[in-house]
């Protein structure tokens, strides 16, 4: 039985939520392996809209086990509120349907305070554009060996020791930023109050998933953000604080690399980005506005308007390589309906030469100018198409050209937010 990793192949917001939900019918377990509640998934099922941040997309599917892995950083208060909200929409969530790895680091209130204070203090041109939810500082504490983890909530003495170690680092840092010291007593009490609502979901995820694999169960690994926000291979420093690429999937839940059989990259038919950082094909004109309006390009978490531009094949070719993608799911093709001419970036001009990848150095990235290839657009509607026969010839040509340029085949094609408006070419679980 194949196990599948789903990763965003651009800067996020590619439509992973719908595709993970669509694939979850074929899976037994859906596992989040990195990120925090700074990422958002919007699912549309039978006209019902679900907005998820921390919860895996599989929670809205009955009979599935959803897992939050150790590669995630978890805000326990946000999670409790999100569970309550989703329950109000008629979704059953219990320890039988949701599991949290015992070694998952927690996002504490002071992480968000530090995140926001740093961003406010940053000089022009150095702001990262974070959501201010404390994800970065929480990952810093994990690596610095001073975080509170889910398992620590079960023992008061351990919890206090973990909090004290964190405060030894954070109070001097806060003083330098002009922030009041952390109220130690109040923080410990808050953690003791939230513990009974989190601990019932805690489990040795690595062990449970190992047993699931031995029993022949299918696992769907769900990432957040997009590969171009990867801490190592993204457009640094305008990136997230964790590894987003597919190699993190196994590590982020406690399995070995042989647990992954198929990597599916989610790719938007054009390009968008939220926040700061380089964006070679960005269109700050009427065409960019048209893409944003037609694609409803506003962040699920922040509500921020997304920057829009033409499809960048050079960047997706990079992410296909760094994540070892076997196929892609191309989304939002319908947003391009009605354009007379479409453009695809095939590479960049840098200092008089053409390069086929985005350089690592930020100053070199800033000097890159996109090299475009023009294709004929189409006037017919592709929205809701469920077979190749329903697509205009020019749309098929556009999809085939993308396959050639990124050196990776299309496995699925999404033509609307509805889960059933999907053309299946290759079933990743049948690999």
The proportion of the chain whose per-residue pLDDT surpasses 90, expressed as a percent, equals: 79
Quote the tokens at residue 422: 């999907």
pLDDT band at 125 (very low <50, low <70, confident <90, very high): low
Per-residue pLDDT, 50: 86
Characterize the bridge pairing of strands 48-52 and 41-45: antiparallel
Quote the tokens at residue 235: 């457009």
Per-residue pLDDT, 18: 80
Q: Which of 50-64, 150-164, 291-305 has the highest mean pLDDT?
A: 150-164
CB atoms under 10 Å from CB of 357, counted, come to 13
* pLDDT of 69 over the 90 cut: yes
Q: Please calculate the CA angle 424-248-211 and round it to the nearest 5 degrees.
A: 80
Per-residue pLDDT, 322: 97
The proportion of the chain whose per-residue pLDDT surpasses 70, expressed as a percent, equals: 97
The structure tokens 């657009």 sit at: 377
State mean pLDDT over 233-261: 95
CB crowding 102-112: b at 16 or more within 10 Å, else e: bbbbbbbbbbb
pLDDT band at 270 (very low <50, low <70, confident <90, very high): very high
pLDDT band at 301 (very low <50, low <70, confident <90, very high): low
Quote the tokens at residue 317: 């070719």
Per-residue pLDDT, 226: 94
Topology (CATH level 3) of domain 109-198: Adenylosuccinate Synthetase, subunit A; domain 2 (1.10.300)
Contact by Cβ (8 Å): 19, 414 = yes
pLDDT band at 119 (very low <50, low <70, confident <90, very high): confident
Q: What is the pTM of this model?
A: 0.92
Report pLDDT digits (tens) over 75-118: 999 999 999 999 999 999 999 999 999 999 999 999 999 999 98
φ, ψ of residue 350 to 5 degrees: the values are -135, 115
Which pairs with CB-CB distance under 8 Å and at least 24 residues apart come from 358-363? Answer: 358/235, 358/278, 358/280, 358/314, 358/315, 358/318, 360/236, 362/235, 362/236, 362/237, 362/278
Domain 4-102+203-262 classification at class level? alpha beta
Per-residue pLDDT, 150: 98
- Give the whole-angstrom CA distance, residue 29 versus residue 65: 5
pLDDT band at 419 (very low <50, low <70, confident <90, very high): confident
Report pLDDT digits (tens) over 141-198: 999 999 999 999 999 999 999 999 999 999 999 999 999 999 999 999 999 999 999 9
Break the chain into its structural domains and give their ranges: 4-102+203-262, 109-198, 267-430
pLDDT band at 43 (very low <50, low <70, confident <90, very high): confident
State mean pLDDT over 33-62: 84
Quote the tokens at residue 307: 């920057």
Per-residue pLDDT, 132: 82
Query: For the chain, what is the mean pLDDT?
Result: 93
State mean pLDDT over 301-307: 77
* pLDDT of 57 over the 70 cut: yes
Quote the tokens at residue 236: 């640094």
Residue 248, H or E segment: helix 248-251
* pLDDT of 24 over the 90 cut: no
CATH architecture of 267-430: Alpha-Beta Complex (3.90)
Per-residue pLDDT, 48: 83
The structure tokens 């380089």 sit at: 278
State mean pLDDT over 264-270: 97
Rg (CA), the chain: 22
Query: Where in the sequence numbering do the catalytic residues fall?
Result: 13, 41
Per-residue pLDDT, 300: 60
Name the CA dihedral angle for 50, 220, 72, 92, rounded to a multiple of 10 degrees.
40
* pLDDT of 123 over the 90 cut: no
Per-residue pLDDT, 25: 84
Report pLDDT digits (tens) over 342-372: 999 999 999 999 999 999 999 999 999 999 9
State mean pLDDT over 204-220: 96
State mean pLDDT over 401-410: 98
**Which burial class, exposed, middle or buried, applies to 123 when counting CB atoms under 10 A from its CB (0-12, 13-18, 19+)?**
exposed
Per-residue pLDDT, 20: 82
* pLDDT of 316 over the 90 cut: yes
Per-residue pLDDT, 267: 97
- Give the whole-angstrom CA distance, residue 167 versus residue 36: 22
Report pLDDT digits (tens) over 280-293: 999 999 999 999 99
């Amino acid at each position: 039985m194949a196990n599948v990793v789903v990763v965003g192949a651009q800067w996020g917001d590619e439509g992973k939520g719908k595709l993970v939900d669509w694939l979850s019918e074929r899976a037994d377990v859906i596992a989040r392996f990195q990120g925090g509640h700074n990422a958002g998934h919007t699912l549309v099922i039978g006209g019902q809209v679900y907005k998820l941040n921390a919860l895996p997309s599989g929670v809205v599917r009955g009979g599935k086990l959803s897992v939050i892995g150790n590669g995630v950083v978890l805000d326990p208060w946000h999670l409790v509120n999100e569970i309550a909200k989703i329950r109000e929409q008629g979704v059953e969530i219990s320890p039988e349907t949701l599991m949290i790895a015992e070694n998952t680091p927690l996002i504490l209130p002071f992480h968000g305070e530090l995140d926001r204070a740093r961003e406010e203090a940053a000089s022009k041109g150095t702001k990262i554009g974070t959501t201010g939810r404390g994800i970065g500082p929480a990952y810093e504490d994990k690596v610095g060996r001073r975080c509170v983890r889910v398992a620590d909530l079960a023992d008061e003495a351990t919890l206090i020791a973990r909090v004290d170690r964190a405060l030894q680092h954070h109070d001097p840092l806060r003083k330098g930023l002009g922030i009041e010291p952390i109220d130690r007593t109040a923080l410990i009490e808050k953690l003791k109050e939230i513990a009974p609502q989190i601990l019932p979901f805690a489990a040795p995820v690595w062990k449970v998933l190992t047993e699931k694999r031995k029993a022949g169960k299918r696992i769907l690994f769900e990432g957040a953000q997009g590969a171009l926000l990867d801490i190592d291979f993204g457009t640094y420093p305008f990136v997230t604080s964790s590894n987003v690429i597919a190699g993190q999937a196994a590590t982020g839940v406690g399995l070995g690399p042989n647990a992954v059989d198929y990597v599916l990259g989610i790719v938007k038919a054009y390009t968008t980005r939220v926040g700061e950082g380089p964006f070679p094909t960005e269109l700050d004109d009427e065409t960019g506005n048209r893409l944003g309006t037609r694609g409803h390009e506003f962040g699920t978490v922040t509500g921020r308007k997304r920057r829009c531009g033409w499809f960048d094949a050079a960047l997706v070719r990079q992410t296909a390589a760094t994540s070892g993608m076997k196929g892609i799911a191309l989304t939002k093709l319908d947003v391009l309906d009605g354009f007379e001419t479409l453009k695809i970036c095939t590479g960049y001009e840098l200092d008089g030469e053409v390069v086929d990848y985005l350089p690592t150095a930020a100053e070199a990235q800033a000097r890159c100018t996109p090299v475009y290839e023009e294709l004929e657009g189409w006037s017919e509607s592709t929205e809701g198409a469920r077979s190749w026969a329903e697509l205009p010839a020019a749309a098929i040509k556009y999809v085939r050209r993308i396959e050639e340029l990124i050196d990776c085949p299309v496995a699925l094609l999404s033509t609307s937010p509805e889960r059933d408006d999907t053309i299946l070419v290759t079933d990743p679980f049948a690999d």
